[in-house]
Structure 1
Amino acid sequence: MSGGVDSAVAAARAVEAGHEVVGVHLALSRMPGTLRTGSRGCCTIEDSMDARRAAAKLGIPFYVWDFSERFRADVVDDFVAEYAAGRTPNPCMRCNERIKFAALLDKALALGFDAVVTGHYAEVRQGPDGVELHRAAAWAKDQSYVLGVLTAEQLAHSWFPLGATPSKAEVRAEAEARGLSVAAKPDSHDICFIPDGDTRGWLASRVGAEEGAILDRSGERIGTHPGAAAFTVGQRKGLNIGYPSPDGRPRFVLEVRPKTNEVVVGPKEALAISELAGARFSWAGAAPADAASGFDCEVQVRAHADPVPATARLEDGELVIRVEEPIEGVAPGQTAVVYVGTRVVGQCTIDRTVSAVPASR
């Protein structure tokens, strides 16, 4: 129970279905002020109190489990290491993968519970080859992307009661009808462990910020940056090159090179990617029978991005995804989630991309 309306209603539906339900809130930091407060983050002190009140209203036991050390090592330290390596990580994916559906689920199963129930908008179904993960009924709220890292074993012990709910408005109305005080609470967003929202400043204090070269695609130095770790592929603001490109068009970050502390920039069309691949991949259920020969699919590279038609196959230890039409703003470190219809087939952390536009253009 995060302290939000979704997890409160999910718990209420689990109670109503006749299950023995215990509410658990995750303490992810022992240091006051190191996680966001108010409604902008999640797992704050305020959130724990909201979760406790919801559990009391539902008449279920409530506990706070301290996962702060695991969260620091598996999510925060990973976030810093990925940026230091020039990649753009998704900490919410890591939290789901390593905290909520690994550490939390492992502890729950060890204590004799059958499943972890959350307020995510997605559905677990039984398919012909076993358990499957599917998109939620409400595509506008669908959260299957951030659950794409879950394995068949984890899905078998997961339940998402809100998956078939047509809209968030219906969830809020249900919460109000049940007398839950979080009915009108705003959704959480932003990175919870960066209290003031200043990601660049937060990273600079941990990775370091040393001036380096801004290069164009030909390798010519055209400016100076305050620290490569602060930049991500697709970024436009903050380059401060000082003069326009030869054609007068804006420049975008195309590549971050942490070893040489360089940032490569170029035109927007150079962000177009025709292929992406990653060696760190997993299947959300049974692996596709045609994984080695290739299969038609759709790929989604951000939580709220539109899925794009593609083909995927296993090649030399990588999940290689080729899109039918180029997509923009894809960075190493991001997660590519593969769908067939509404089903999440699997995912990979992007290690490399292939530009659809040659460097000479």
Structure 2
Amino acid sequence: MKGKSFSLRDIAEFTGSRIVGDPTVTITGVAAFDSARPGDITFVAQKKLLKAFSDCRASAVITSAELEPLVMKLGNFSLLVSDSPQLTFARVANLFFEFPMPEPGIHHSAIVAPSARVSPSAHLGPFVHVSEEAEIGERSVLMTGVYVGRNVTIGSGCVIFPRVVILDGCVIGNNVVIHAGTVIGSDGFGYVADEKGQHVKIPQVGSVVIEDDVEIGANCTVDRATFGATRIGKGTKIDNLVHIAHNVVIGQHCILAGQVGIAGSSRIGNHVIMAGQVGIADHVTIGDGVRIGAKSGVAANVPPRTDVVGIPAIQKDDLFRLYANIKRIERLKKDIERLKEFVKDFVSRQGSSKGGGDRKNDG
């Protein structure tokens, strides 16, 4: 970021935003609103944050048309007005922050098999191991301690962080980022019980295919298929500590938050969002555009463009109705107790009335 600067006009043209204020303001960095200084640009997209925004010292603020008049009252800011302030801020941040690409070359401690093919523009850091018949594409970076198995293909522009393991036969597309400690191509969890109840391993002889523009977080595992391929679709982004089992197919441009677990042979559509700690049972199909709330357990197919939540996961609106009814239970219990007392008293009075009448007739 050091040394970069842009006028607000340049940033507005780049992001397609509307300027309110001085277009010649020089922007030298991006920051959160509570730490921004003169020269920085920040953003606010939620009305509830405006209270804390009053002490912001940024030179410019990215915001929405709805919040524009409110932000103007809080300080002497120039504004970039956007339909999606957070997205605009992300694009602006990418103008200033770039991954520091190391120089091409192979460190003297790296081990590269004679039959491996490594692009001259690639970088292999200390103690990288590249096995037989593997291929490393142009401008790809393999950091310290990365292991690449036999017949692995890694495309161009990839960044593989330290101690990533990519096992035999896996295919990594272009512009893929894999963070530290992740294992690609570990054996799928496949066993069958024999006559004595002992577990016999099913050979896992498939592969993993990771398509272009995927990012996988730290300490994830993507198991190879029993046969065929476990596949992660183009543009999908995966958080830390996610487990993807054998023969799973994940569509394009999905989001998987931390600690998601997907059991074997499930099919995930395009543009699916899974919040933290979601669990997907085996052989489940999740349709396009589905959103799954945190900690949900999905044991059945989910149709496209549905929001589900809970254990077992059901449609969000249904769960909220059930939850509202649960909150009424205590009140209903009290109503029932009052009703029981009323009935008991009513029956008692009726009995007394009948008994008194009999005695009167006898007299």
TM bucket normalised to smaller: under 0.3
**Structure 1 or 2: larger helix share?**
1
TM-score (norm 1): 0.25
- Bigger Rg over Cα: 2
